[in-house]
Amino acid sequence: MANVIVIGGGIVGLSVAYYLAKENVEVTLVDADHTGQATTAAAGIICPWVSQRRNKKWYQLAKNSASFYPTLIDELKNQGISTTGYKQTGALVIRKEEKTLQKIYEMTQQRLVDAPEIGEVTRLNVAETKQRFPLLDEKYQSIYVSGAARVNGGKLRKSLLEACMNHGVKIITGEASLVKTANHANIKVNDTLIEADQIVLANGSWFSTIVESLGLNGLIRPQKAQIVSLKWKEDDTGDWPVIMPRGTHYIVPFEHGQIAAGTTHEDDVGWDTHVTPIGLQKIFSDLREVAPALLSSALVKVNVGFRPVAPDFLPVFGRLPGYERIYAANGLGSSGLTTGPFIGRELAKMILRKDGILDAKDYPIHSIIKSSE
Ligand SMILES: Cc1cc2nc3c(=O)[nH]c(=O)nc-3n(C[C@H](O)[C@H](O)[C@H](O)COP(=O)(O)OP(=O)(O)OC[C@H]3O[C@@H](n4cnc5c(N)ncnc54)[C@H](O)[C@@H]3O)c2cc1C
């Protein structure tokens, strides 16, 4: 196959680039490394099976993505890349109300039939819950899901970048723009025009800007997220499970007392990358409710990132309408750390004209382009 240029070096772009390069495709990846890149800002949870979201296509994607992760991590390890930021530590879904917890428990048990990677699903009482995560407030029962994992987005991104370079991907730092031709486009980056046989747009929240020059009205919007990194005084946090309370709050423990807590979901604030008192207030008031002891830990840093959000919150991948040789993957929203590598591989397969696992028609790119009619 001829050369492919991938625009965007977040989890999606790096995954597409890696899976193409593995098949000996000549790949160039252009990344502007914008402040607010979602992947580097994120610390997150891989546990889609407890989600009460009703969209079946999303669940299908997320389930396949979660089961694919260990394969990717093993692949990276076999190349000598071991600091991936990924670890299967299990998750505690915590609730005060018995009824809601039972509902989630039954749903997860049913999902076990199709997804054995969920692992052990166990109901825990208050004392058992606190035993698994000693800093929790004493009012929560939980469901323990052993197959859940946590991942540090920044570390995973570095690992994928290393894997790309090991496979000969050429990396260019700079902001790319598209220069329209008859039924394709060239790429302009750092004042140089580059021709590409195939182009992949994997540029997250910045998608709508890049397709403007093709006369397209993109519908991806940035959703701002703030997340805090804390340092707990004890060191033995590396195997603690992630904590999933009701709503958007969560706690993700890492090694050596590092604990991430977040996140905000801020719509309609544009490209504001500031850490805001109101954002921190939301995170810390949620933390006070769930694990008040953590309020006495040290605040190490606050990350800000933009989740790329599609109109119906469903990720998409495939060919750009009207362009045979331009592809895109986007709209990964709040589950992109989970779905990014799998979507990247699915898109690489499509470009290589190989069968994927999902039907791309269920994740249509036209849903992130405003119709001209
Ligand atoms: C705080 C936070 C917590 C999260 N928690 C979770 C979680 O628990 N579980 C989960 O599954 N997901 C989580 N997510 C979501 C996940 O991180 C995102 O969905 C995912 O990282 C999006 O990846 P992406 O590659 O599409 O975009 P990005 O990571 O934003 O990458 C896009 C890249 O494209 C580059 N770019 C843009 N325009 C151009 C251009 N013109 N030329 C060159 N380069 C360009 C940008 O600079 C950037 O590097 C979280 C996100 C955040 C912000």
Mean pLDDT to the nearest integer, 344-371 = 96
Residues 42-55, mean pLDDT to the nearest whole number: 94
pLDDT at residue 1 in the model: 63
Q: Which of 5, 7, 18, 39 has the most ligand 1 atoms within 8 A of CB, as the residue to mutate?
A: 39
Kindly give the distance from the C-alpha atom of residue 12 to the centroid of ligand 1, in angstroms, as a whole number.
8
Does residue 28 have a cis peptide bond before it, meaning omega lies within 30 degrees of 0?
A: no
Pairing of strands 258-262, 221-231: antiparallel
- Can you state the percent helix, strand and coil of the chain, rounding each to 5? 35, 25, 35
Q: Which percentage of the chain shows pLDDT scores above 70?
A: 99
Is 373 a residue whose pLDDT tops 70?
no
- Confidence band of 192 (pLDDT split at 50, 70, 90): very high
Task: Please give the structure tokens belonging to residue 248.
Answer: 């958007």
Calpha distance 72→346 (Å, rounded)? 13
Query: Which residue ranges have their beta carbon within 6 Å of ligand 1?
Result: 7-13, 30-34, 37-39, 41-42, 44-45, 153, 175-176, 202-206, 210, 225, 227, 262-263, 303, 305, 307-308, 332-338, 340
Locate the ligand 1 atom nearest the alpha carbon of residue 339 and give its number: 11
Higher pLDDT, residue 183 or 233: 233
Question: Mean pLDDT across the chain, nearest whole number?
Answer: 96
Domains of the chain: 4-40+155-220+311-368 (3.50.50.60), 91-147 (no CATH), 221-309 (3.30.9.10)
- Overall average pLDDT of the 43-52 stretch: 95
Q: Looking at the chain, how many residues does it have?
A: 373
Q: Which of 182-186, 301-305, 317-321 has the lowest mean pLDDT?
A: 182-186
Residue having the nearest C-alpha atom to atom 26 of ligand 1? 204
Q: How far does the centroid of ligand 1 lie from the alpha carbon of residue 38, in Å?
A: 3
Tens-digit pLDDT profile for residues 119-173: 999 999 999 999 999 999 999 999 999 999 999 999 999 999 999 999 999 999 9
Mutational pocket test of ligand 1: of 186, 203, 248, 301, the residue with most ligand atoms within 8 Å of the beta carbon:
203
Q: What is the mean pLDDT of residues 330-359?
A: 97
Ligand 1 center to 11 CA (angstroms): 7
- Minimum mean pLDDT range among 63-72, 311-320, 364-373: 364-373
Which atom of ligand 1 is found nearest the CA of 334?
15
Helix axes 56-78, 153-166, angle to 10 degrees: 60
**Token pair 């991942």 in the structure block, residue:** 151
